[in-house]
Amino acid sequence: MKLYVVRHGQSEDNIARRHSGWADCSLTEQGRADAERAGTVLRGIAFDKVFSSDTKRAKQTCAIALPEMQDAVEYTPLIRETNVGTLTGLEVAECQRRWGEEYDSRRKARNFCPYGGENLAMHMERVREFLTMTESGGWDTVAVFSHGGSIHCMLDIVMGAVQNKADYPCENGSVSVFEYADGVWSLAEWGRME
């Protein structure tokens, strides 16, 4: 099985450098262009199944990239972005002013529990549940529309250890490919943009 995993296009919160988490926000004009570019990468691939995060920005990306598949999309909260709790809607710069190094340290560790959100282990458990579900689906080719944090969780699970995000940039509208064969996941391609 091949999983073609798309990060949603640029959102309004991406531009404002705000924590989106599980909140809904729309794509920007650039975000719609990102989605169209992802659709070009996916063009000609016959998908057996399409999954999307149930957030607005992922749904919009999916609708633009694969308009012909919209009747078959399954929306799931399992591949939402990290839940950032009470930080939702706050600008990163504001959080840094309010909480300083403590906030920076928690953000780097992907630990939003102190703010009522998730930590990395909780987020990875959701994503692991999603991957396990796809393993038993009987599909050959699957499209997935998700978020940078969830895609990095997929990478961490597949690689067997937490990877340095700087080594694996996950741009808006990028397409990464994971393969599952003989009970083993592998990374086939990372962050394709065209």
Query: What's the pLDDT tens digit per position in 89-135?
Result: 999 999 999 999 999 999 999 999 999 999 999 999 999 999 999 99
The radius of gyration of the chain's CA atoms, rounded to the nearest angstrom, is: 16
Q: Looking at 8, 19, 123, 152, which residue is catalytic?
A: 8
Amino acid at 174: S
Query: 172: domain CATH number?
Result: 3.40.50.1240
User: Under 8 Å CB-to-CB from 20, ≥6 apart: which residues?
Assistant: 11, 13, 14, 55, 57, 81, 84, 88, 89
42 lies in which domain range? 2-192
pLDDT digits (tens, 9 = 90+) for 75-93: 999 999 999 999 999 999 9
Alpha helices in the chain (DSSP H): 12-16, 29-42, 56-65, 92-108, 120-135, 148-159
Q: Looking at 19, 81, 118, 123, which residue is catalytic?
A: 81
Answer yes or no: 81 catalytic.
Answer: yes
pTM for this prediction: 0.96
Tally of domains in the chain: 1
